[in-house]
Chains A and B, each alone.
Chain A
Amino acid sequence: MLSALLFLPLLAAVLLLVPAVSDRVARLAFVAVALVEVVGVAVLWWRYDDPGTGRLAFEEQVSWIPGIGSSYHVGLDGFSLPLVAMTTVVFLACAVFALAEARRPRLQAALFLALETTCLGVFASADLIVFFVFFDLSIVGMYLSINGWGHGDRARSALQFFLYTFLGSLALLVGFVGLYVASESHTFDMVTLAADPPLQGDGAVGVLVLGAVLLGLAVKTPTVPFHTWLPPAHTDAPAIGSAVLAGVMLKLGTYGLVRIAMPMFPDALRAWAPVLVAVGIASVLWGALVALAQTDLKRMIAYTSVNHMGYVVLAVGAAGVVGSDGGTDDAELRRTAITGAVTQMVSHGLLTTALFLLAGVVWSRHRDYAMDQYGGLASHAPRFAALLVVAALGSLGLPGLSGFVAELQIFAGSIGTVPVSAVALIGILLMTAVLLRAVQRLITGPSGPLSEEFTDVRPREWVPVGGLLALAIGVGIFPRPLLDLIEPAAATVASLVAR
Chain B
Amino acid sequence: MSGVRIEEVLLVAIVVAPALVGAALLGARVVRISSSNAGWLGAAVLAVMAVVSWPVVVSGVSVGTPFVAGSELGLAAGGPAVLLLPTMLVVATLVLTVATSEPETSEPRFTGLMLLFTSAAALTVLATSLPALLVGWELMGVASYALIGYRWADPRRVGSGATAFLTTRGADLGLYLATAAALAGGTDLSLDSLAGMDGGWRDVAAAGVLVAGLGKAAQLPFSFWLARAMDGPSPASALLHSAAMVALGGYLLVRLSPLLEGTSWAGATTSWVGVTTAVLLGCVAIAQTDLKQLLAASTAAQLGFVVLAAGVGATAAGTTHLVAHAAVKSLLFLAAGAWLHALGTKRLFALTGALRLWPALGALSGAGLLALSGLPPLSLWATKDAVLAGVREESLPLYLCALLASALSVAYALVALVILARPRRPRHDIGLDEEQPGTRAVDARVPIALAPLALAGVVLGLLTLPQVLDRVPGRIPVAPSTSELVVSSALVVLVAVGTGTWVLRRWDRCDEQASASSPVTGLLGSWLHLERAAHTLIVRPTLRTAAAAARVDDRIIAGAASGAARLTIRAARSVARLDDRALSGAVARTASGTLRAAGSSARGDASIAGVVQGVARGARRGGRAVRRTSSSGQLHRYYLQLVGSLLVVLVLVSVVVLIESSR
- Which of A's residues lie within 8 Å of B, judged by CB? 160, 163-164, 174, 177-178, 181-182, 199, 202-205, 208-209, 224-225, 227-229, 286, 289-290, 292-294, 332-333, 336, 339, 376, 378-379, 382, 386, 393, 398-400, 404-405, 408-409, 411-417, 422, 425-426, 428-430, 432-433, 436-437, 440, 443-446, 479-480, 483
Q: Across the interface, do A181 and B138 meet the contact criterion of CB distance under 8 Å?
A: no
Query: Shortest Cβ distance from A473 into chain B, in angstroms?
Result: 10
Q: List 9 A-B contacts (CB under 8 A).
A: A164-B561, A203-B662, A205-B662, A289-B545, A333-B184, A336-B69, A339-B69, A416-B201, A480-B67
The interface centre, meaning the residue of A229, A433, A446 with most chain B CB atoms within 10 A of its CB, is A433
Chain B residue with the shortest CB-CB distance to A443: B152
Write out the residue numbers on chain B whose beta carbons fall within 8 Å of the beta carbon of A425: 173, 176-177
Once A182-B659, A292-B542, A416-B184 are accepted as A-B contacts, the answer to whether A432 and B169 lie under 8 Å apart by CB is yes
Write out the residue numbers on chain B whose beta carbons fall within 8 Å of the beta carbon of A411: 176-177, 179-180
Write out the residue numbers on chain A whose beta carbons fall within 8 Å of the beta carbon of B142: 393, 398
Q: Across the interface, do A293 and B546 meet the contact criterion of CB distance under 8 Å?
A: yes
Q: Across the interface, do B153 and A429 meet the contact criterion of CB distance under 8 Å?
A: no
For the complex, give the distance between the alpha carbons of A228 and B555 in Å.
10
Query: Shortest Cβ distance from A205 into chain B, in angstroms?
Result: 5
Query: Shortest Cβ distance from A458 into chain B, in angstroms?
Result: 15
Q: Across the interface, do A290 and B139 meet the contact criterion of CB distance under 8 Å?
A: no
Q: Across the interface, do B173 and A174 meet the contact criterion of CB distance under 8 Å?
A: no
Q: Is B658 in the interface zone, CB < 8 Å from A?
A: yes
Q: Across the interface, do A399 and B183 meet the contact criterion of CB distance under 8 Å?
A: no
Write out the residue numbers on chain A whose beta carbons fall within 8 Å of the beta carbon of B183: 332-333, 336, 412-413, 416
Query: Shortest Cβ distance from A358 into chain B, in angstroms?
Result: 18
Q: Across the interface, do B181 and A415 meet the contact criterion of CB distance under 8 Å?
A: yes
Q: Which 5 A-B pairs have the closest CB atoms?
A: A416-B184, A415-B180, A293-B550, A228-B558, A399-B135
User: Which residue of the partner chain, among B180, B547, B557, contacts A412 with CB atoms under 8 Å?
Assistant: B180
Q: Is B3 in the interface zone, CB < 8 Å from A?
A: no
Query: Shortest Cβ distance from B406 into chain A, in angstroms?
Result: 36
Q: Is B166 in the interface zone, CB < 8 Å from A?
A: yes
Interface residue SS majority, chain B: helix
Write out the residue numbers on chain A whose beta carbons fall within 8 Å of the beta carbon of B65: 480
Q: Across the interface, do A292 and B158 meet the contact criterion of CB distance under 8 Å?
A: no
Query: Shortest Cβ distance from B119 into chain A, in angstroms?
Result: 11
Q: Across the interface, do A290 and B659 meet the contact criterion of CB distance under 8 Å?
A: no
Known: A414-B180, A440-B155; 10 extra A-B contacts, CB below 8 A, are A177-B652, A178-B659, A202-B662, A224-B557, A408-B176, A411-B180, A425-B173, A426-B173, A443-B152, A445-B155
For the complex, give the distance between the alpha carbons of A205 and B658 in Å.
7
For the complex, give the distance between the alpha carbons of A414 and B183 in Å.
10
Q: Across the interface, do B651 and A174 meet the contact criterion of CB distance under 8 Å?
A: yes
Query: Shortest Cβ distance from B258 into chain A, in angstroms?
Result: 22
Chain B residue with the shortest CB-CB distance to A226: B561
For the complex, give the distance between the alpha carbons of A426 and B162 in Å.
17
Query: Shortest Cβ distance from B153 into chain A, in angstroms?
Result: 6
Write out the residue numbers on chain A whose beta carbons fall within 8 Å of the beta carbon of B177: 411, 415, 422, 425
Write out the residue numbers on chain A whose beta carbons fall within 8 Å of the beta carbon of B66: 480
For the complex, give the distance between the alpha carbons of A189 and B66 in Å.
37
Query: Shortest Cβ distance from B189 into chain A, in angstroms?
Result: 8
Q: Is B611 in the interface zone, CB < 8 Å from A?
A: no
User: Which residue of the partner chain, among B165, B543, B662, contacts A204 with CB atoms under 8 Å?
Assistant: B662
Query: Shortest Cβ distance from A330 into chain B, in angstroms?
Result: 8
Q: Is B68 in the interface zone, CB < 8 Å from A?
A: yes
The interface centre, meaning the residue of B180, B546, B659 with most chain A CB atoms within 10 A of its CB, is B180
Write out the residue numbers on chain B whose beta carbons fall within 8 Å of the beta carbon of A205: 658-659, 662
Q: Across the interface, do A479 and B67 meet the contact criterion of CB distance under 8 Å?
A: yes
User: Which residue of the partner chain, among B169, B652, B660, contacts A429 with CB atoms under 8 Å?
Assistant: B169
Interface string of B175-210 (1 = CB under 8 A from A): 011011101100000000000000001000000000
Query: Shortest Cβ distance from A389 into chain B, in angstroms?
Result: 8
Query: Shortest Cβ distance from A176 into chain B, in angstroms?
Result: 11
The interface centre, meaning the residue of B542, B550, B652 with most chain A CB atoms within 10 A of its CB, is B550
CB under 8 Å from chain A, chain B span 122-156: 131, 134-136, 138-139, 142, 145, 149, 152-155
Q: Across the interface, do B165 and A436 meet the contact criterion of CB distance under 8 Å?
A: yes
Write out the residue numbers on chain B whose beta carbons fall within 8 Å of the beta carbon of A379: 153
Chain B residue with the shortest CB-CB distance to A385: B152
Write out the residue numbers on chain A whose beta carbons fall within 8 Å of the beta carbon of B533: none
Once A202-B662, A445-B152 are accepted as A-B contacts, the answer to whether A399 and B139 lie under 8 Å apart by CB is yes
For the complex, give the distance between the alpha carbons of A426 and B149 in Å.
24
For the complex, give the distance between the alpha carbons of A171 and B198 in Å.
47
Write out the residue numbers on chain B whose beta carbons fall within 8 Å of the beta carbon of A404: 135, 138
Count the B residues whose beta carbon is within 8 Å of the partner chain — how many? 60
For the complex, give the distance between the alpha carbons of A332 and B393 in Å.
43
Write out the residue numbers on chain A whose beta carbons fall within 8 Å of the beta carbon of B546: 289-290, 292-293
Q: Across the interface, do B68 and A408 meet the contact criterion of CB distance under 8 Å?
A: yes
Q: Is B170 in the interface zone, CB < 8 Å from A?
A: yes
User: Which residue of the partner chain, among B29, B149, B179, B561, contacts A408 with CB atoms under 8 Å?
Assistant: B179
Once A178-B659, A205-B659, A415-B184 are accepted as A-B contacts, the answer to whether A160 and B562 lie under 8 Å apart by CB is yes
Q: Across the interface, do A225 and B557 meet the contact criterion of CB distance under 8 Å?
A: yes
Write out the residue numbers on chain B whose beta carbons fall within 8 Å of the beta carbon of A426: 173
Q: Across the interface, do A440 and B158 meet the contact criterion of CB distance under 8 Å?
A: yes
For the complex, give the distance between the alpha carbons of A437 and B163 in Å.
11
Q: Across the interface, do A444 and B152 meet the contact criterion of CB distance under 8 Å?
A: yes
For the complex, give the distance between the alpha carbons of A163 and B68 in Å.
40
Q: Is B605 in the interface zone, CB < 8 Å from A?
A: no
For the complex, give the distance between the alpha carbons of A433 and B163 in Å.
10
Q: Is B655 in the interface zone, CB < 8 Å from A?
A: yes
Q: Across the interface, do B179 and A412 meet the contact criterion of CB distance under 8 Å?
A: yes
Q: Is B443 in the interface zone, CB < 8 Å from A?
A: no
Query: Shortest Cβ distance from B205 into chain A, in angstroms?
Result: 11
For the complex, give the distance between the alpha carbons of A479 and B549 in Å.
36
Write out the residue numbers on chain A whose beta carbons fall within 8 Å of the beta carbon of B658: 205, 208
Once A174-B652, A428-B176 are accepted as A-B contacts, the answer to whether A399 and B166 lie under 8 Å apart by CB is no
Once A286-B553, A429-B166, A480-B66 are accepted as A-B contacts, the answer to whether A399 and B181 lie under 8 Å apart by CB is no
For the complex, give the distance between the alpha carbons of A210 and B201 in Å.
34
Q: Is B572 in the interface zone, CB < 8 Å from A?
A: no
Q: Is B656 in the interface zone, CB < 8 Å from A?
A: yes
For the complex, give the distance between the alpha carbons of A166 and B659 in Å.
25
Q: Across the interface, do A436 and B135 meet the contact criterion of CB distance under 8 Å?
A: no
The interface centre, meaning the residue of A376, A379, A398, A430 with most chain B CB atoms within 10 A of its CB, is A398
Q: Across the interface, do A290 and B655 meet the contact criterion of CB distance under 8 Å?
A: no
Q: Is B593 in the interface zone, CB < 8 Å from A?
A: no
Chain B residue with the shortest CB-CB distance to A415: B180
For the complex, give the distance between the alpha carbons of A445 and B162 in Å.
13
Query: Shortest Cβ distance from B163 into chain A, in angstroms?
Result: 10
Q: Is B377 in the interface zone, CB < 8 Å from A?
A: no
Chain A residue with the shortest CB-CB distance to B189: A412
Q: Across the interface, do B543 and A292 meet the contact criterion of CB distance under 8 Å?
A: yes
Once A181-B659, A225-B557, A436-B165 are accepted as A-B contacts, the answer to whether A286 and B184 lie under 8 Å apart by CB is no
Q: Is B70 in the interface zone, CB < 8 Å from A?
A: yes
Write out the residue numbers on chain A whose beta carbons fall within 8 Å of the beta carbon of B131: 408
Q: Is B565 in the interface zone, CB < 8 Å from A?
A: yes
For the complex, give the distance between the alpha carbons of A224 and B560 in Å.
13
For the complex, give the distance between the alpha carbons of A404 and B68 in Å.
10
Q: Across the interface, do A163 and B565 meet the contact criterion of CB distance under 8 Å?
A: yes
Q: Across the interface, do B170 and A445 meet the contact criterion of CB distance under 8 Å?
A: no
Once A228-B553, A399-B138, A425-B173 are accepted as A-B contacts, the answer to whether A440 and B162 lie under 8 Å apart by CB is yes
Write out the residue numbers on chain B whose beta carbons fall within 8 Å of the beta carbon of A208: 655, 658
Interface string of B564-603 (1 = CB under 8 A from A): 0100000000000000000000000000000000000000
Write out the residue numbers on chain A whose beta carbons fall within 8 Å of the beta carbon of B152: 378, 443-445
Write out the residue numbers on chain A whose beta carbons fall within 8 Å of the beta carbon of B181: 415-416
Once A294-B550, A332-B70, A444-B152 are accepted as A-B contacts, the answer to whether A228 and B180 lie under 8 Å apart by CB is no
For the complex, give the distance between the alpha carbons of A414 and B181 in Å.
10
Q: Across the interface, do A433 and B166 meet the contact criterion of CB distance under 8 Å?
A: yes
Write out the residue numbers on chain A whose beta carbons fall within 8 Å of the beta carbon of B135: 399-400, 404
Write out the residue numbers on chain B whose beta carbons fall within 8 Å of the beta carbon of A430: 542
For the complex, give the distance between the alpha carbons of A341 and B22 in Å.
32
For the complex, give the distance between the alpha carbons of A456 and B376 in Å.
59
